[in-house]
């Protein structure tokens, strides 16, 4: 692991334990060259995932990109960061355990929307406005109406198909 202070590739692990979220390993490291101490978090990756974009392009799945898009929807919302991290880990676990190495960006968006719906209505609405590419106020009104009824996976999949058709 590269030292963030001097760039040396030769850091040594001094302590290793499960991270608080249980999905990562927390390692305390020290650099023998500069003496700098730092912490790394390592996650187990069950399989390499590839995302097929709406354009047809294929890219490597990036957990951090998913986390950033969810964080944007949750900005200034009173949601515990640990719940958000567990939610993201749950989405990634669902994707990795699906048995498929290639997943559509649509599927990732649907899983994120489903998870946000259970976490925070405002974040769900924000994410939906970008994911579904809202054009005017009636689009918001329709989603607010959906929030009043219980979520069904079939409904979310139908929304994703409509988003693919429209986008």
Asked whether residue 135 falls in the same domain as residue 90, the answer is yes
Range of the domain at 55: 50-166
Per the prediction, the chain carries an average pLDDT of 82
Rounded distance, CA 77 to CA 125, Å?
12
Quick one: which of 62, 41, 43 has its CA closest to 53?
62
In a domain, 2, yes or no: no
- pLDDT at residue 98, rounded to an integer: 81
Asked whether residue 54 falls in the same domain as residue 126, the answer is yes
For the chain, how many structural domains are there in total?
Answer: 2
In a domain, 7, yes or no: no
- pLDDT at residue 167, rounded to an integer: 47
CA distances in angstroms from 46 to 23, 26, 63, 94, 156, listed in the order given = 12, 18, 13, 11, 26
Q: Whole-prediction pTM value?
A: 0.61
Mean pLDDT for the stretch of residues 127-149: 80
Rounded distance, CA 96 to CA 92, Å?
6
% pLDDT > 90, the chain:
28
Asked whether residue 135 falls in the same domain as residue 107, the answer is yes
Residue owning tokens 């719940």: 83
**Alpha helices (H) along the chain:** 63-74, 81-96, 105-119, 121-131, 137-147, 153-166
pLDDT tens figures, 93-113: 888 888 888 999 889 998 998
In a domain, 76, yes or no: yes
Categorize the per-residue pLDDT at 72 as very low, low, confident or very high, splitting at 50, 70 and 90: very high
- pLDDT at residue 75, rounded to an integer: 92
Asked whether residue 56 falls in the same domain as residue 103, the answer is yes
- pLDDT at residue 21, rounded to an integer: 62
In a 10 Å sphere around its CB, with 0-12 CB exposed, 13-18 middle and 19+ buried, how is residue 162 labelled?
exposed
């Amino acid at each position: 692991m590269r030292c963030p202070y001097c760039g040396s590739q030769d850091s040594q692990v001094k302590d290793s334990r499960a991270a608080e979220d249980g999905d990562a390993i927390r390692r305390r490291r020290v650099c023998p060259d500069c003496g700098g101490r730092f912490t790394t978090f390592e996650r187990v990756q069950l399989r390499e995932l590839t995302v097929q974009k709406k354009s047809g392009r294929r890219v490597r799945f990036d957990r951090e990109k998913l986390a950033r898009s969810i964080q944007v929807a949750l900005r200034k919302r009173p949601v515990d960061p640990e719940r958000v991290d567990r939610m993201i880990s749950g989405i990634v676990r669902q994707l990795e355990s699906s048995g498929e190495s290639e997943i559509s960006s649509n599927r990732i968006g649907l899983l994120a929307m489903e998870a946000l719906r259970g976490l925070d209505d405002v974040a769900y609405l924000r994410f939906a406005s970008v994911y579904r590419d809202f054009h005017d106020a009636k689009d918001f009104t329709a989603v607010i109406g959906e929030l009043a009824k219980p979520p069904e996976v079939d409904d979310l999949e139908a929304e994703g198909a409509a988003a693919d058709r429209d986008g």
